[in-house]
Amino acid sequence: MTITSNSTKSAAICEATIATSIPKKRILALGQGVNNVANYQSGGNVLMNNPRAFGTLTSSIVASEGFEITSISDSIPPAATLKSLLDAKPDIVIIGRVTHIRAEQAGYLSDYINKKGVVLLFSDGDGGEDAGSVGNIMRAVFGKTTIYQRRMHNGGVIYKYGMVNDEILNGPFGDVRTRYWGKDLSPTCALEGIPSDKIDVYSYGFTPTRVLTVNETEYVTAFKHKKLNFIYVGDGGFFSYAAGIPVSTDKMPFRLEVGTLLPIERFRFGINEFDSRMSMRYSVCNSIFFANALAWAIKQAELNGINTP
């Protein structure tokens, strides 16, 4: 910004840089253990509280005043509790494993989303008698009864991101287009019957490391809604993280750089059922995707969210 003097005796000017940051956002976090971003050992929590990533430093990648997190750790969130917390209009809701959403709770989430609430949903779709959680949410949000969740493949599977050029696949923390994300431990929750005209698909059910059925290649494993503030990934342990350099081939695909704690690729991930020599040959970008998604989420919450004036 340039400031010009209004003096009649001189035309002095000076230049000043005024830094602005997005005000603190209220997060409602659902999930258990390290799959809840309120847990200090969660990769999501470590990243969210890293001022190099989200902060007020001149070098912060995203200028943000941070987050205030409220947590529900029940595997089945009590309907009345969830409704009350959503009625309080949190800026963003982040859901991880293990969270089983029944039809009533799904209705409350859908109402929140349709009022411009921001939701990042990461789910395996597990839960025994409550295994229809993801389907419940999708049917409520899209208003379509013929959306089904399909659990497939075990942990260590990889999926390829598409070429969608937006702030999530190509955002402030990096470009993950045509690269991979890795599934932590349990099976993936893919979706069948999602209206294709309403979503940007980030990944399908195709994987180069497992035997596939014809239908699985058409299932959706990650997407963003085109009009609503809603992102889905079929892995409740997407931000499963271990400090240092992880060694497991089928878990903890979320990696942060030692020292800076900024998101980077997790190398040598994956289990290949065709050729064991090809196992651990993939680099996955879970942390970069999550960081980009969170940056998008706080921007949406600020400019086009449930609390935007």
Report pLDDT for 279: 65
Confidence of residue 289 (pLDDT cuts 50, 70, 90): very high
Report pLDDT for 1: 45
Residue boundaries of the structural domains of the chain: 25-304
Report pLDDT for 106: 97
Report pLDDT for 61: 99
CATH topology of domain 25-304: Rossmann fold (3.40.50)
pLDDT at 45 over 80: yes
Q: What is the mean pLDDT of residues 199-224?
A: 91
Tell me the DSSP string of the chain: -EEE---SS---EEE------BPPEEEEEE-SGGGSTTSTTSHHHHHHT-TTTEESSTT-SEEB--EEEEEE--SS--HHHHHHHHHT--SEEEE-SS----HHHHHHHHHHHHTT-EEEEE-----GGGTTHHHHHHHHHHT-S--EEEEE--TT-EEE-----STTTEETTEE-TT-EEE--SSPEEEEES--GGGEEEEEES--TTS---TGGGGSEEEEEESSSSEEEES-TTTT-B-SS----SSS--BEE-TTT--EE-EEEE---SS-GGGTT-EEE-HHHHHHHHHHHHHHHHHHHSTT--
Of 73-82, 244-253, 291-300, which gets the smallest average pLDDT?
A: 244-253
The percentage of residues in the chain with a pLDDT greater than 70, rounded to a whole number, is 91
pLDDT at 7 over 70: no
For residue range 57-96, list pLDDT tens digits in order: 999 999 999 999 999 999 999 999 999 999 999 999 999 9
Mean pLDDT of the chain: 92
Report pLDDT for 15: 62
Report pLDDT for 294: 99
- Does the pTM exceed 0.85? yes
